[in-house]
């Protein structure tokens, strides 16, 4: 098998500021829900025997590079059935954005920073809460059906969501996930209550779990955070 024969995974990149709170939470929660691989710095991609169908990673616009995720982020991830180990923060680069098939920003400002860094990423970059709202209006028939993989559905979701962005009323007041860095456990839980329902909505759409789709208000309100 030549390098050209090796399938390329669908790559999702979550982006926040320091890459130690919000984007690591999206990385591990989404990967867990999709049954996908996540970035493991100790195992370079070139040395992996199997190429995953979907790979989820994260980075920061002002990363605390080389640091693990915060203890409170790790604790919340464990509570939600995710493995927080082996994480190392890194700075986002244009190369990462060019390789990503879907970029999930944690705030509108992060999305703007991503687009300034790599303008061609604009069409595939959403805030995580924006994408979840756009998915709520899609019909199951809009996405690949029988025989389609999670990667197939994710590939279909990106252009469909980009098209819906032109027709659906924007909700900038509901785009951002608060930054819990240096905050209390209450602040971290509030941030999770904003990002987790959106991540679960994206994962449900990608897995075609129509029965698990959540009603719209949970994407815009934090008091009803559903535990997996």
Q: What is the CATH number of the domain that holds 90?
A: 3.40.50.2300
What does the pLDDT read at residue 224? 35
What does the pLDDT read at residue 219? 42
Name the more confident of 167 and 147: 167
- Using alpha carbons, list the distances in angstroms from residue 27 to 152, 196, 210: 19, 11, 22
Residue 1 maps to a domain? no
Residue 226 maps to a domain? no
Q: How far apart are alpha carbons 59 and 100 in whole angstroms?
A: 12
Which residues form the domain of 121?
7-220
Q: How far apart are alpha carbons 196 and 30 in whole angstroms?
A: 9
Q: Any idea of the CA torsion for 29, 60, 44, 10, to the nearest 10 degrees?
A: 60
Quick one: pLDDT band at residue 105, thresholds 50, 70, 90?
very high
Q: Are 41 and 66 in contact (CB under 8 A)?
A: no
With b meaning 16 or more CB within 10 Å and e meaning fewer, what string describes 39-49?
beeeeeeeeee
Residue 79 maps to a domain? yes
Residue 227 maps to a domain? no
Residue 124 maps to a domain? yes
Q: Are 197 and 33 in contact (CB under 8 A)?
A: no
Name the more confident of 144 and 219: 144
179 pLDDT more than 50: yes
At 63, list the tokens: 């990363």
54 pLDDT more than 60: yes
Q: How many domains does the chain have?
A: 1
What does the pLDDT read at residue 201? 95
**Phi-psi region at 208: left, alpha or beta (left = phi > 0; alpha = psi -120 to 50):** left
Residue 116 maps to a domain? yes
Name the more confident of 224 and 56: 56
Q: How far apart are alpha carbons 144 and 180 in whole angstroms?
A: 37
Quick one: pLDDT band at residue 209, thresholds 50, 70, 90?
low
Residue 95 maps to a domain? yes
Q: What is the mean pLDDT of residues 197-206?
A: 95
Residue 49 maps to a domain? yes
Strand partners, 215: none
């Amino acid at each position: 098998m030549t390098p050209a024969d090796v399938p390329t995974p669908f790559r999702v990149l979550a982006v926040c500021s320091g890459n130690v709170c919000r984007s690591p939470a999206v990385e591990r929660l989404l990967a867990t829900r999709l049954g996908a691989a996540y970035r493991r710095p100790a195992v370079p991609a070139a040395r992996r025997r199997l190429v995953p169908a979907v790979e989820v990673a994260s980075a920061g616009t002002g990363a605390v590079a080389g640091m693990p995720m915060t203890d409170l982020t790790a604790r919340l991830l464990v509570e939600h059935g995710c493995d927080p180990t082996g994480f190392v923060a890194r700075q986002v680069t244009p190369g990462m954005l060019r390789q990503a098939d879907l970029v999930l920003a944690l705030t509108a400002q992060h999305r703007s920073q991503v687009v300034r860094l790599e303008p061609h990423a604009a069409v595939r970059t959403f805030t995580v809460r924006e994408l979840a709202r756009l998915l709520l209006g899609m019909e199951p028939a809009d996405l690949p059906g029988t025989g389609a993989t999670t990667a197939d559905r994710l590939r279909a979701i990106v252009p469909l969501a980009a098209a819906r962005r032109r027709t659906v009323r924007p909700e900038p007041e509901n785009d951002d996930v608060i930054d819990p860095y240096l905050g209390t456990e209450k602040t971290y839980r509030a941030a999770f209550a904003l990002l987790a329902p959106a991540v679960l909505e994206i994962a449900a759409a990608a897995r075609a779990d129509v029965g698990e789709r959540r009603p719209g208000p949970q994407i815009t309100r934090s008091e009803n955070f559903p535990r997996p």
